[in-house]
């Protein structure tokens, strides 16, 4: 998904232009949300615990690779500028949405005993490198 942002910005999958007027965020379609949220939570069978890091990492990393989101956790994704000519950049908004959904999913796959160590992480890359 991260690699197809340019085509998504031009056409959100339902035949309409996804750009929004006045620099506001393009709308999130049901297709976008289904592509991230439902399958990820259903594919994760274990949570990170004290004794299963390698198994958890193997499972989570393969799911992330399968969805093409590895650039987010590896920190190799180019972050679009927040503003363009003083207006909100729709590409940045989409980047933030994807990263926040990935953060939420990663946190849901981690035992609550480890979550306090992740307070202050503001990106999926920070969470991945901290874990």
Q: Average the pLDDT over 56-80 and give the result.
A: 95
According to the model, what pLDDT value does residue 113 have?
Answer: 94
Residue partners of 23: CB distance under 8 A and separation at least 6: 84, 87, 88, 89, 90
Q: Which residues pair with 87 in a beta bridge?
A: 84
> Crossing angle of helices 90-108/30-43, nearest 10°?
20
**Backbone angle region of 99, left / alpha / beta, with phi > 0 → left and psi within -120 to 50 → alpha:** alpha
Q: Is 74's pLDDT higher than 50? A: yes
Q: Is 3's pLDDT higher than 80? A: no
Give the number of other Cβ atoms within 10 Å of residue 106's Cβ: 22
Task: Categorize the per-residue pLDDT at 44 as very low, low, confident or very high, splitting at 50, 70 and 90.
Answer: confident
The rounded mean pLDDT for the chain is 80
Give the number of other Cβ atoms within 10 Å of residue 70's Cβ: 16
According to the model, what pLDDT value does residue 2 have?
Answer: 41
């Amino acid at each position: 998904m991260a690699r197809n942002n340019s085509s998504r910005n031009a056409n959100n999958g339902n035949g309409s232009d996804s750009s929004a007027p006045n620099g506001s965020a393009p709308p999130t379609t049901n297709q976008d949300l289904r592509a991230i949220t439902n399958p990820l939570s259903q594919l994760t069978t274990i949570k990170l615990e004290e004794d299963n890091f390698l198994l958890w990492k193997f499972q989570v990393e393969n799911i992330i690779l399968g969805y093409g989101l590895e650039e987010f956790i590896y920190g190799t994704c180019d972050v679009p500028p927040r503003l363009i000519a003083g207006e909100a950049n729709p590409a940045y908004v989409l980047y933030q949405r994807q990263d926040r959904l990935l953060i939420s999913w990663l946190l849901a796959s981690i035992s609550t005993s480890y979550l306090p160590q992740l307070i202050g992480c503001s990106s999926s890359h920070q969470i991945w490198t901290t874990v």
